[in-house]
Chains A and B, each alone.
Chain A
Amino acid sequence: MLTDQIVKGLLENDYHVIKFIYKSYYKAVKNFVTNHGGSNRDASDIFQESILVVFEKLRQDPALIQKNFPSYLFGVSKYLWKQHQRDLQKAVHTINLSQEVQPGLEFAEIPRDIEMETLAMKEKQDRIFQEAYISLKPDCRKIIDLVINGCTVEEIADFMDYTTVSNAYRKRQFCKEKLMAYIHHNN
Chain B
Amino acid sequence: MEKLNKDIQIDRYVTGKLDDAELWEFRQEMEKNPRLAKEVELRSSIYKSIADKQKLNLRISLKAMSAKYQVSRLTIHSWKVQAIAAGIAVFLLVGAGLLTSVFNRSNPDQLFESYYHPESSLLSVRSGSFSDNTSLNLGMLSYDQGQYEESIEIFKTIPNNVVARLYCGFAYMNVKNYEAAINEFDYVVAHGDNLFIDQASWFRGLSFLADNKISTAKSIFTNIASQDGAYHSKATDLLEELKNK
Contact = CB atoms under 8 A, between A and B. Distances in A.
A18 B125 CA distance: 12
A15 B61 contact: yes
Contacts of B8: 153
A24 to B, nearest CB: 12
Interface string B114-149: 000000001111110001001100100100000000
Interface stretch (B52-60, B98-106, B166-174, B180-188): B52-60
A130 interface: yes
Given A48-B66, A169-B4, A173-B4, A13 B58 contact: yes
Given A48-B62, A51-B62, A13 B157 contact: no
Interface string A39-61: 01000100110011001100100
A141 B51 CA distance: 11
Contacts of B47: 147-148
Interface in A12-43: 12-16, 18-19, 22-23, 26, 40
**DSSP class of A's interface residues: helix, strand, loop or mixed?**
helix
A44 B70 contact: yes
B49 A55 contact: no
A13 B45 contact: no
B49 A125 contact: yes
A126 B49 contact: yes
Contacts of B17: 150
A18 B61 contact: yes
A9 B14 CA distance: 33
B60 to A, nearest CB: 7
B126 A12 contact: yes
A183 interface: yes
Interface size class of A (residues with CB under 8 A): 35 or more
B50 A18 contact: no
Contacts of A144: 50
Contact of B55 (A48, A126, A131, A142): A126
**DSSP class of B's interface residues: helix, strand, loop or mixed?**
helix
Contacts of B59: 48, 52, 126-127, 130-131, 134
A13 B46 CA distance: 22
B126 to A, nearest CB: 6
A103 interface: no
A44 B60 CA distance: 14
A149 B8 CA distance: 13
A59 B126 CA distance: 16
Contacts of B197: none
B54 A13 contact: yes
B49 A134 contact: no
Nearest to A44: B66
Contact of B126 (A14, A52, A131): A14
Nearest to A149: B15
B125 A13 contact: yes
Interface of B: 4, 7-8, 11-12, 15-17, 45-47, 49-52, 54-63, 65-66, 69-70, 122-127, 131, 134-135, 138, 141, 153-154, 157
8 contacts: A22-B65, A22-B69, A129-B46, A129-B49, A130-B52, A145-B50, A173-B7, A176-B7
